[in-house]
Amino acid sequence: MKTVTLLSISAALLLGLLMSRLAKKLQLPAVTAYLVTGVLIGPFCLGALNLYGIGFHDEAQIESLGILSDVALGFIAFAIGNEFRLSQLKKTGKQATVIGIVQAIVATLLVDAALIALHFIMPQHISLSAAITLGAIASATAPAATLMVVRQYKAKGPLTSLLLPIVALDDAVGLIIFSVSFGIARALQTGSPDFISIIVEPLVEIAASLILGSVMSLVLTFLERFFHSRSKRLSLAVTFVFLTVGITMMHFEIGGITIGFSPLLTCMMLGTVFCNLCDFSEELMDRCDRWTAPLFILFFVISGAELKLSVFTSGAIVLIGIVFIISRSIGKYFGSYFSAKAVNCDANTVKYLGITLLPQAGVALGMSVTAMQLGSSDGGLVRNIVLFAVLIYELVGPLLTKLSLSAAGEIAHHEKVSARGGKVH
């Protein structure tokens, strides 16, 4: 079993890297190449052939590598925390907050309206509870794909400066929207609203995540002072990301209230406080980015392998999925457009920001797992619609993000020197 797992991981890394070369020729983001690689070696393609050590043969094998995805998301959130430096927040903090809240709410309301209308047209295929839950999930944006595209093309400018903080804030806003909407959806099923699960628990989760991230960061900053070599400082930072991700997997119950943590919010706070307190954090973050490169490749390949092509076999799921994708895309775009205009963003940010917020993955999938509490019928429908949307968004989203950043003039097209000394265009 260990041999097969190691061979599968090696094959995933190698094939992902080779596909990224092809993607470069086609002028596609590397993220797209990794996701396509995952689909190709997943259970619905090469994995179905059961070739020894090549591909992922079933969902159980993919789930066994879930710890890698959890850790990768932790490092992604830690890196995004670096975008919340006080010097930068003084310039963009108000704009990011307003846009982050408005675009999430507008996307939720539009998807709610579209799917509730669809419920009255075809009630046998989508319930009111499922429609409201999907509306809440529409608020979530994937930070991983966005961050990777920004890094690959070294994007820099007003749009990029706003984009990453907004994507980070999206987790907190989405968590609140989902908790409230999901509580209403369950109340529609049971007939009895639960104030604690709708209001109290999501607020407690956000507060607990921010406090835990801050405390872990204070300890990390304190301990870093005892080490002077770059490698040991890097090792300590990596250790604390692992430790923080591990702690966020724990849950407690106090006075009937379940206290949990958001891994993304907690690790984002870890990075935010650390980069504002530690005077050598910028260099350390840069070294950490290089260390995590193979981990991020694996994360996207595994994410691609998780995408279920079987969702295309149901006409109802395809129809509901298309309505979800269109209404969410409109909500994200116009929610960003009008809020960016209201806070006096530059013309390129107003025009292109909404397009960069379309990718959707990990957070949405996590919400869909929670939605299974609605029962096998409604919960299963929500899960399949989200899988359908993620499949489309993850394959198309990174390319749209790249095109938007390029159109905004924030991707510099210059010659780079390769590791062999030649010029790369």
pLDDT (tens digit, 9 = 90+) per residue, 372-418? 777 767 887 887 888 788 878 877 888 888 889 998 888 876 444 44
pLDDT above 70 for 262 = yes
Pairwise CA distance, residues 251 & 263, whole Å: 12
Within its chain, how far is the Cα of 7 from the centroid? Answer: 27
Of all residues in the chain, the percent with pLDDT exceeding 70 is 91
Pairwise CA distance, residues 19 & 30, whole Å: 8
Give 237's contacts (C-beta < 8 A, 6+ positions apart).
Answer: 220, 224, 274, 284, 288
Pairwise CA distance, residues 419 & 299, whole Å: 25
What is the value of pTM for the model shown?
0.74
Paired strand residues for 258: 253
Q: pLDDT per residue over 318-377, tens digit each? A: 888 899 999 999 999 999 999 999 998 889 999 999 898 888 776 777 777 677 777 767
Helix axes 201-224, 158-190, angle to 10 degrees: 140
Q: pLDDT per residue over 87-107, tens digit each? A: 777 777 788 889 989 999 999
User: Which range has highest mean pLDDT (44-53, 90-99, 108-117, 384-393)?
Assistant: 108-117
